[in-house]
Structure 1
Amino acid sequence: MSKFEYSEIERQINTVLAHQDKELREINRPDHSEIDARISESEELLKNLEYGDQLASLRTSGLQVPAEQPHKVMVVPSWENLCKEAEAHVGTGHDLEELFTPEELLSNEWAGHQLNYEYNQLYHLDKYDIAICVAAGLLGAAADILLIGIPQKTPEGLKGGTLANFIRDQFDKKFPEEEMEKLANSKVSKVPYDAQDNRNTKIYVDGLSAYYHRLMSLGHDPLLGLIFGVSDILTGRMTTIGRTGKIVSQVMENYADRKESDIFAAIAKQIIHYKSDIITSMGLPAPMMALFNLMQFGSISEEEQTIAEIVQGMYYEGYDFIHFCTLSIPVMIVEVVTRIGYSIKRIKEGHSVKESIPFSTNRDKNPKLTTMLFIGHSAATAVNAGKVFFTKNPMAINYPQWIAFAKYSYQQLKWVILEKPNARDAYVRGIIDEELREVIESVDKTFDDVSADYIVVFE
């Protein structure tokens, strides 16, 4: 019984090949060794008889044999006839392995392993690759620990590390408090989803207050607001996720004058409202932070708080959009250092500058880059996990870093499990197909040479 499942056409090919192999083995090839010896003896005799010059002349001029006129006919059988003839002589049920000797099978197996090894080497990280991405991860983690720190409320406002304070100061300069207050009080920034408590709501929203209304209103989310906020402005509604995880979308009748009928006007108002809220003491939350209100599970810390309660506490302590932007800098450091190191190493390996540009994570263009980024962000995330563990403070969580880690973990897992086996198979098959194409071209040329003096008839 064959260990492979062959298709019908593959079984036919195996049968024809087995028949042809048998016929080739049965051909009696004459032994020319004695003829060659006699020719050598004759040449030596002619030299001894002083006919060496004539012999050399014959060798250089050669014998002109008149070409045979193309009067012979070569009949090329059809595939059906070939299959019938092969089945009549060798039967059916042949394996392709029958055509090879044990040594040839071992050689074929070694060639397959060699091709797989060559493919794996394209994505194999050497010690310099690993050093680059690990150094990038540790550098990003060091920036997080030493320059950003953990924000704390002080009489002078929210303060953290040197870099965190610098970024917050830059936001204050870019969006002056007096101008933002004027903007917040103007009609152009008023939106229907900006109720600060339940006095203007029809449906009670648990936890809605001046402190938490931006965390619970999806319109204030820097990402979700571009969908829910614009929609609420167009429909005069407010969409919230309350403290207990209940989703509520309700019409805000008292804020009907804040609606917009034109989508572009709604988008403009949404952006203006973002601007008016960005530097407030309880400002815009981090992107997607409102969704954590749905996570009404967990028993964390001595207070046995749920994940939702932990995130709500983080927001109250100052984990806002500005802090999210600050925490994105270590992530950027990991990205930039890894990509620059990768690019320099590629150039030193002999690749062109164009081929070494590390913008794309397409593995065909930059085979090792995504894996290096995964390792770099894994290192930075591991350090951040240690920071959270030892400080016991959820404010130490680097949210952007964990997002980057999740992204590259998904890409790496998808590559290893799903994409790499198929890509390796395509690589090996491509090389085999190229070699097969060369063999076919050689066979075609040989057939053309042999059939040049024949009239070829196809059945």
Structure 2
Amino acid sequence: MTNLDNIDTFLDKSLKEYQEQYESLQTQSENLINRTDNILDFIDHTPQILNDLDNQFEKKTGLSFFEVEILFAVVGFQLLRQYLLTKFPLRLDDQISAKTTDGYVKTSSNRRHRYYEPSLEEIITNPVPFDANLGANGALKGGGKLGHRVTAIGHDPLLGLIFGTANIATSTLTTNLFDSYHIKTINSRDAFTEKANTGLVLGYTIKKLLGPVDDKQKVAISFIKEIIHLRSDLHTHNSLPLPLISVIDGEFASRLASYGLDFSNVVTISKQAILANLINSLAAMYHYSFYDGEIDEELYRVKTKKIIMYSNIIASVTNLAAVGITKNVNLLDVGGIGVAIYETITSVKYRKKVKREFIIGRYDEMFEDL
């Protein structure tokens, strides 16, 4: 083969390679142009695509007829709770409330006084010493509307469990300033006599608690008597102050009570919120028990939150309407309304998060398939 033939062969081969490369580049160019066109078309149709994805999300998270039935069942349970279990109780006077309190026994003062060491019989048969006011000489001043229920710390719903129990076990009274007084019987009534030592009030109580069975029994009976007394005062007209505030500012605690912030209302509102949450939790668990994996779990949870949110809103609106029609504020479901507001805020926030992830995720998948 001559050199000329070699050159021709080389040229033919090179030309063929260049032609193949050209065709490949042309194909890639056409594909790129087509993809660019597709991308531009996709971008042009983005509003419609997003709207379609939004509709898909709404369809997937819409409630079925069965789920609507669950929703109204939850509404029914919330309404039953509102009117049978957690409405605000009628306020009674002290005597009537005491008579209707389980465990309450009418007593009269007959203290055979031994400093810090009343007998078990005296503890049982005498009134709680922190109800005494005869001879107080200003020791209980500064209680405002709530009077001695602010200044006698045995009435504090939290500190009373300690100091009230100790006062009963030692025949003493401790004020919100932590001053203590011996309480004795004068003309069949409990009365202040002389100052006591608050350290000894607690010390003797601890000593009894750690002592023989008879002394332990005195503290146990004192504690039970404290609980019964707090319960008897709870739903009276003046009720009890909020915990701990009395020792910070007695007049402020009384002022709060005059605005409705007393322990009775706090207990009722807390009960409303706790039971409303319990119903919501049971409803959520019941709904989740039907999850079959057909849709993403987060989308199913959006449906659950819808059931809880809508049922709480309906129950709360119904409650407000009932209060407006009857003019009976004792029916107001403050705790339940608070739970409904919280559920609405958290549900909307969660729904927005899941919806954003759903739409962006599907949009990215569609873009990658172009």
* TM norm structure 1: 0.42
* TM norm structure 2: 0.49
